[in-house]
C-alpha cells in the first residue's frame, strides 16, 4: 500500500491544488484520511467542502473562498493573453445560481453567467466569453486575437466560441485575425473598423523604414505612431522615430502621434484628428 500522503498530494497536484470534498470521496479517500491530511498540515480547508494544497495559486484560492471559479481577465492574464483592462481584483464565476461566500479582504468581481461553476479556473474559451460580458466587445476582440496569435485557440475552439456568442456578436470572431502583433494593434484595428477604415501593420516604406501602423486612402498613406504601455521608448528609439517622421514628411506622408491612453480614453478626438489628416492627404492628391 502506498502511503496516504503521497496519493492525496498527487490528486491535489493533478487538480491544480484545490479539490472539493466530494471529489476526494469520489477518488476513494475517507473522511478520516482527509482529516488526517489536514491535521498533519499537508492540505488545508479553504471553506466548507473545499480543500487546498499549500502550493495552490493564490487567485484560484480567492475564487474558491468566494464560492466559485477564477474566470475572465484573471484566467486570460494567467495564460499570458493580452487584456485591455488594467490589473485588478480576481474575477470569480459563481455559475447561474451559485452561492457567494463572504471572506476576509474580498474585492472579487463576481460573474453570474449561466452554467455550473466548480472549483479552480475556467477554460480559455469560457474566460473569453465572460470577458465580453464583463468588459465589452473591444476587450473581447483584443484578447481573442491575442490568444489566437499565441496559438492558444484552435480552429475548432474558435468556432465553439463563435457558436456561444449571441448571433449579433459573431462578427467579432469573423473579423478577427490570427497574426496581430500586439494588443494595441487589435484595439486600433477594431476602432477603425467601426468607422469603415482599415489598418495595415508593419509596412516598409522606402527611405523611411518599417512603420507600425498606416491607413491607406486612395493610394495615399497616413502613418500612425503610438507610444505607451507596450512601446517603451528609449532615447535611441525616440531619435529613430523622429528620423522616420522627417523621412516620411519628405515623401509628403503625414505622421500622427498618439499615446495609448489617448486612443483608449479620447477616441473621438483621435478619430477627428485622423479624419482631418486624411482630408488633407486626399486634398493634396
> Contact residues for Zn ion (CB under 5 A)?
66, 72, 91, 106, 108, 134
Closest CB 163 distance from Zn ion, rounded Å: 21
69 contacts 93 by C-beta, under 8 angstroms: yes
Q: Among all chains, which residue has been given the C-alpha cell 479582504?
A: 105
Q: Which is nearer to Zn ion, 126 or 245 (CB)?
A: 126
Distance in Å, CB of 160 to Zn ion, minimum: 20
User: Shortest Cβ distance from residue 167 to Zn ion (Å)?
Assistant: 22
Taking the complex as a whole, how short is the minimal distance between the CB of residue 5 and Zn ion, in angstroms?
A: 31
Kindly state the smallest distance separating residue 76's Cβ from Zn ion, in Å. Answer: 10
DSSP three-state, residue 114: coil
Please identify, using beta-carbon distances, which residue of 66 and 244 lies nearer to Zn ion. Answer: 66
- State the minimum distance, in angstroms, from the CB of residue 60 to Zn ion: 12
User: Distance between CA 270 and CA 218 in Å, rounded?
Assistant: 21
Is 115 exposed, middle or buried, given 0-12, 13-18 or 19+ CB atoms closer than 10 A? middle
Q: Between residues 143 and 182, which has the closer beta carbon with respect to Zn ion? A: 143
Q: Please identify, using beta-carbon distances, which residue of 143 and 255 lies nearer to Zn ion.
A: 143
Whether 214 and 224 have beta carbons less than 8 Å apart is answered as: yes
Cβ-based nearer residue to Zn ion, 63 or 263: 63
Which is closer to Zn ion, CB of 50 or CB of 221?
Answer: 50
Look at the chain and count its residues: 285
Nearer to Zn ion, 62 or 281 (CB): 62
163-170: Cβ within 8 A, 24+ apart: 164/125, 164/129, 165/129, 165/132, 169/132, 169/137
At its nearest, how many Å lie between Zn ion and the CB of residue 162? 20
| Residue 24 vs 139, nearer CB to Zn ion | 139
- Write out the E strands in the chain: 18-20, 44-47, 50-52, 69-70, 91-93, 109-111, 200-205, 209-217, 220-227, 254-259
With beta carbons less than 8 A apart as the criterion, state whether 184 and 230 touch: yes
Q: How many CA atoms lie within 13 A of 248 on its CB side?
A: 24
Three-state secondary structure call for residue 204? strand
Give me the least distance between CB of 33 and Zn ion, in Å please: 30
Q: Which residues pair with 129 in a beta bridge?
A: none
Amino acid at each position: 500500500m502506498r502511503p496516504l500522503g503521497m496519493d492525496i498530494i498527487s490528486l491535489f497536484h493533478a487538480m491544480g491544488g484545490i479539490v472539493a470534498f466530494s471529489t476526494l470521496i469520489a477518488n476513494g479517500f475517507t473522511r478520516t484520511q482527509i482529516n488526517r491530511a489536514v491535521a498533519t498540515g499537508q492540505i488545508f480547508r479553504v471553506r466548507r467542502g473545499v480543500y487546498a494544497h499549500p502550493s495552490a495559486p493564490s487567485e484560484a484560492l480567492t475564487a474558491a473562498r468566494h464560492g466559485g471559479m477564477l474566470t475572465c481577465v484573471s484566467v486570460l492574464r494567467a495564460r499570458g493573453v493580452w487584456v485591455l483592462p488594467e490589473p485588478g481584483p480576481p474575477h470569480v464565476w459563481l455559475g447561474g445560481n451559485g452561492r457567494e461566500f463572504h471572506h476576509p479582504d474580498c474585492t472579487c468581481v463576481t460573474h453570474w453567467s449561466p452554467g455550473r461553476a466548480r472549483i479552480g479556473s475556467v477554460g480559455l474559451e469560457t474566460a473569453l466569453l465572460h470577458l465580453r460580458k464583463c468588459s465589452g466587445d473591444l476587450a473581447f476582440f483584443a484578447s481573442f486575437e491575442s490568444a489566437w496569435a499565441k496559438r492558444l485557440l484552435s480552429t475548432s475552439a474558435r468556432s465553439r466560441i463563435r457558436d456561444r456568442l449571441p448571433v449579433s456578436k459573431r462578427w467579432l470572431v469573423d473579423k478577427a485575425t490570427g497574426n496581430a502583433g500586439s494588443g494595441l494593434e487589435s484595439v486600433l484595428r477594431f476602432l477603425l473598423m467601426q468607422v469603415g477604415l482599415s489598418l495595415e501593420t508593419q509596412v516598409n516604406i522606402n527611405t523611411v523604414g518599417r512603420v507600425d501602423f498606416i491607413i491607406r486612402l486612395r493610394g495615399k498613406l497616413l502613418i500612425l505612431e503610438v507610444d505607451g504601455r507596450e512601446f517603451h521608448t528609449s532615447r535611441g528609439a525616440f531619435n529613430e522615430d523622429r528620423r522616420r517622421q522627417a523621412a516620411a514628411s519628405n515623401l509628403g506622408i503625414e505622421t500622427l502621434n498618439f499615446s495609448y491612453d489617448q486612443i483608449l480614453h479620447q477616441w473621438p478626438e483621435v478619430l477627428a484628428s485622423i479624419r482631418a489628416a486624411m482630408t488633407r492627404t486626399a486634398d493634396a492628391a
